[in-house]
Amino acid sequence: MSGLSAEETPTFVGVVYPSDADHMGHVNIARYAQIFDAANWTFFARNGLSRPYFDMSGCGMAALAQETTYHKELFPGDTVVAFTELLEVREKTIRYRHQIHRSVTGELAATSELIAAHLERSQHRAVPFPAEILSALRNRVVARPD
């Protein structure tokens, strides 16, 4: 696959179905959102933010901001893969980016950058990540050249 590292582990792998197409024949916005949402939960779980953690702690995650860019159209029959990279970690929030690629060619189809908060569910307020999760997250931030 051009442009993709074999060492990266996808956060989503799937296919585009005819029911995912809009009246213009390409993938609708809702399907991109579904792929990004599925990638969220895989990404969170890999970083200690799993269903058992949420159940035990009473915490959760909530999106604060999301910016999506569509680079290439996807069509029914396309197989896709998403990768997620952690860009920034703060005491109560993370910033990360999903990238959806055509799995056969590696072409970038869409990106979505999000900011999400760690929150206490019963109070619906942002709270700090536990120290061990915060430390692990900080170790996974993608280094950016200045």
Instruction: Please give the pLDDT value at position 5.
Output: 46
Give the Cα separation of 85 and 69 in Å (integer).
16
Structure tokens at 23: 């009246």
Residue 136 pLDDT exceeds 80? yes
Going 19 to 20 to 22 to 25, the CA torsion angle's sign is negative
Mean pLDDT of all residues in 54-70: 97
Torsion of CA 26, 18, 111, 65, to 10 degrees: 100
What domains lie within the chain, and their CATH numbers? 25-138 (3.10.129.10)
pLDDT band at 6 (very low <50, low <70, confident <90, very high): very low
Residue 117 three-state SS = strand
What is the DSSP pairing of strand 93-102 with strand 79-89? antiparallel
The pLDDT of residue 15: 97
**Cα–Cα distance measured from residue 106 to residue 4, given in angstroms and rounded to the nearest whole number:** 6
pTM of the full structure:
0.90
